[in-house]
Amino acid sequence: MSEVKVVDARNTFCPGPLMELISNMKMASVGDTIELLSTDEGSGADVPEWVNKVGHEIISNEKIEGVWHIKVRKAK
Amino acid sequence: MRILIVGGGTGGTVLANNLARRLAVEIRSHKVRLTMLTASDKHLYQPGLLYVAFGQMTPDQLYRDQAGLLESSVEFHVDPVVKFQLDQKQVVTKSGKTYEYDILIIATGSRIVPDEVPGLKEGSENFYTVEGAVRLRKRLMEFEGGTIAMVVSLPHKCPVAPVEAMFMLHDFFKARGIRDKVRLRYHYPVNKVHATANVAVWAKPEFDKAGIEYETLFNLKEVDPEKQIVYSEEGTECKYDLLIAIPPHRGMEEIENNKMGQAGWIPTHRHKLTMDGYDNVYVIGDATNIPVSKTGSAAHFEAEVVAENIESQIKTGSTVREYDGKVYCFIEGGFDRATYNAFDYVNLPVLKPPSKSIHWFKMAYNRMYWTTVRGLL
């Protein structure tokens, strides 16, 4: 079981949380899980849209005390 | 106290000059020794590459001798580091010399790796190297009509560059009188035309007005140079006559070879700018893994924080400032107007309306850079 890598993109605007996630997904191996932390209001919807379009997998997506915690598994 | 700076780009040079002034007395009295190791005797103004591609600057204008940019008290050697032996507080250079340090600053930057995308190197042009920008300039001058596609790989330095290039392409072909024969297509990895919300809000209607077509959620998968088709991870494709790519980037090879960070990005504390696990090693500029823009601007502001903290450490025994995520970037909106983006970890970027005066300030800054990197401005 791979460990979950946390990408802390809280309070960042450029290039922003989703771009940080994409860059980290490129470095990951198939089956790896990345947890993105984001304070960008749009992340809750934008990240799943990208993940679904590219064909990865959302493990969980929740907002805890103003921070989105989105776990994504690399599927291909 | 031995301070060693590895890398002589914007971050390393601003830092060296800033420290040389702050510690002038200590350096004169031999209490502090400030050394820089670089891979080149030349300093390249990288933001100028975009202007080379569009025929607004020439390559020679982008270079200065690195030694001439540094305060005379900085010991400067063109001898790149090949081994970082952080636990022994020393590095080994290409020539075989060993340099010991008390404080190390890594400012080695990043590099493009077009080979990571099949067909990209053979099938596309880019403005991320001098050779690439010169070649693109020629291709643009020879282009008589057809589809020009822009594709964006991640991660890459200068996040606003693809948007700027599209506006400049529009104005370039308008000026050549053949804009109606050129189809401009922009492809971007996320669901907006730019990852930064305010840039996207501004750029989208401007793209519409300029007749620039766009496809979002287009993550570059591969290029077929023979068929002249670029494919996305999402299953879409675009036939092109000229493909302009923002190539993927990695940190420098030496960082990867020394296993200091995945893909060459060094794990760095986003406020302290120290390398994880090493309080005496700072990392600035593109080489870090912190989630801010990979730009000269970020490197510059980070260098100022590190310089102030090293001075404070030496003179008082403790650091005094934290990096607040500050970045300031000009954004060209074509050949005669520009805006800018300024933000930090707390304050959202607010885009000013594009104006001629900001554009001309950027054009002036392209020359003034040499004073900022010397630490005079």
Task: Tell me which chain A residues have a C-beta less than 8 angstroms from the C-beta of B152.
Answer: none
For the residues B87-112, what does the mean pLDDT come to?
Answer: 98
Enter the DSSP assignment of B348.
Answer: P
pLDDT at B197: 86
One-letter amino acid of B130: V
pLDDT at B348: 83
- pLDDT confidence tier of residue B247, bands split at 50, 70 and 90: very high
pLDDT at B38: 98
Kindly state whether residues B243 and B257 are assigned to the same domain. no
Kindly state whether residues B120 and B241 are assigned to the same domain. yes
Residue B184, domain member (yes or no): yes
Kindly state whether residues B117 and B244 are assigned to the same domain. yes
Kindly state whether residues B143 and B263 are assigned to the same domain. no
Supply the mean pLDDT for chain B: 96
What is the residue-wise DSSP string for chain A?
-PPEEEEE-TT--SS-HHHHHHHHHHHSPTT-EEEEEE--TTHHHHHHHHHHHHT-EEEEEEEETTEEEEEEE---
Residue whose token pair is 């009509």: B145
Q: Does B236 touch chain A (CB under 8 A)?
A: no
CATH of the domain at A23: 3.30.110.40
Per the structure block, which two tokens stand in for B86?
A: 């952080």
Please report the residues numbered 17 through 56 in chain A whose beta carbons come closer than 8 angstroms to any beta carbon of chain B.
17-20, 22-23, 26-27, 40, 42, 46, 49-50, 53-55
For the residues B26-38, what does the mean pLDDT come to?
Answer: 98
Biggest CA pair distance of chain A: 32
Range of the domain at A33: 4-73
pLDDT at A13 over 60: yes
- pLDDT confidence tier of residue B60, bands split at 50, 70 and 90: very high
CATH of the domain at B82: 3.50.50.60
Inter-chain residue contact A15 with B196, CB threshold 8 Å: yes
> Rounded to whole angstroms, what are the CA distances from B82 to A58, B38, B43, B266?
40, 11, 20, 15
- Measure the CA–CA gap between B366 and B274, rounded to whole angstroms: 30
Cβ atoms of B12 and B3 closer than 8 Å: no
Kindly tell me the sign of the dihedral angle through the C-alpha atoms of B188, B247, B129, B294: positive
For the residues B190-208, what does the mean pLDDT come to?
Answer: 93
Crossing angle of the two packed helices B296-316 and B10-22, in degrees rounded to 10: 30
Kindly state whether residues B235 and B121 are assigned to the same domain. yes
Suggest the residue from A13, A37, A72 to mutate for an interface test with chain B (most B CBs closer than 10 A).
A13
Indicate the residue of B159, B190, B217 with minimum beta-carbon distance to A14: B159
Cα R_g (chain B), whole angstroms: 21
Kindly state whether residues B172 and B136 are assigned to the same domain. yes
Sequence-distant (6+) residues with CB within 8 A of B147 are B182, B183, B185, B238, B239, B240, B241, B242
Instruction: Specify the range with the lowest mean pLDDT, choosing from B42-56, B190-204, B217-231, B272-286.
Output: B190-204
Q: Which of B123, B118, B126 is nearest to B49 (CA)?
A: B126
For residue B147, the SS3 value is strand
Indicate the residue of B195, B234, B325 with minimum beta-carbon distance to A18: B195
Catalytic positions of A, please?
A: 14
Q: Give the H/E segment covering residue B2.
A: strand B2-6
pLDDT at B334: 96
pLDDT at B360 over 90: yes
Suggest the residue from A11, A14, A34, A54 to mutate for an interface test with chain B (most B CBs closer than 10 A).
A14
pLDDT at A1 over 60: no
Q: What is the pLDDT of residues B117-169, one digit of tens each?
A: 999 999 999 999 999 999 999 999 999 999 999 999 999 999 999 999 999 99
pLDDT at A14: 82
For the residues B90-104, what does the mean pLDDT come to?
Answer: 98
Kindly state whether residues B312 and B195 are assigned to the same domain. no
Indicate the residue of A7, A13, A18 with minimum beta-carbon distance to B190: A18
pLDDT at A12 over 70: yes
- pLDDT confidence tier of residue B358, bands split at 50, 70 and 90: very high
Sequence-distant (6+) residues with CB within 8 A of A44 are A61, A63, A68, A70
pLDDT at B223: 98
pLDDT at B1: 97
As for how many domains chain A has, the answer is 1
- pLDDT confidence tier of residue A3, bands split at 50, 70 and 90: confident
pLDDT at B70 over 90: yes
Residue B343, domain member (yes or no): no
Crossing angle of the two packed helices B197-210 and B161-175, in degrees rounded to 10: 20
For the residues B87-101, what does the mean pLDDT come to?
Answer: 98
As for how many domains chain B has, the answer is 2
Range of the domain at B59: 2-109+252-327
Kindly state whether residues B134 and B199 are assigned to the same domain. yes
Crossing angle of the two packed helices A43-54 and A17-27, in degrees rounded to 10: 30
Enter the DSSP assignment of B261.
Answer: S
Q: What is the pLDDT of residues B255-298, one digit of tens each?
A: 999 999 999 999 999 999 999 999 999 999 999 999 999 999 99
pLDDT at B364: 96
- Structural domain ending residue among the three candidates B228, B248, B268: B248
Q: Does B346 touch chain A (CB under 8 A)?
A: yes
- Measure the CA–CA gap between B285 and B49, rounded to whole angstroms: 18
Cβ atoms of B152 and B120 closer than 8 Å: no
For the residues B288-310, what does the mean pLDDT come to?
Answer: 97
Q: Give the chain B residue whose CA is nearest to the CA of A46.
A: B191
Inter-chain residue contact B291 with A22, CB threshold 8 Å: no
pLDDT at B300: 97
Q: Does B78 touch chain A (CB under 8 A)?
A: no
Kindly state whether residues B229 and B299 are assigned to the same domain. no
> Rounded to whole angstroms, what are the CA distances from B215 to B191, B243, B292?
9, 15, 25
For the residues A44-72, what does the mean pLDDT come to?
Answer: 94
Residue B207, domain member (yes or no): yes
- pLDDT confidence tier of residue B377, bands split at 50, 70 and 90: confident
Residue B376, domain member (yes or no): no
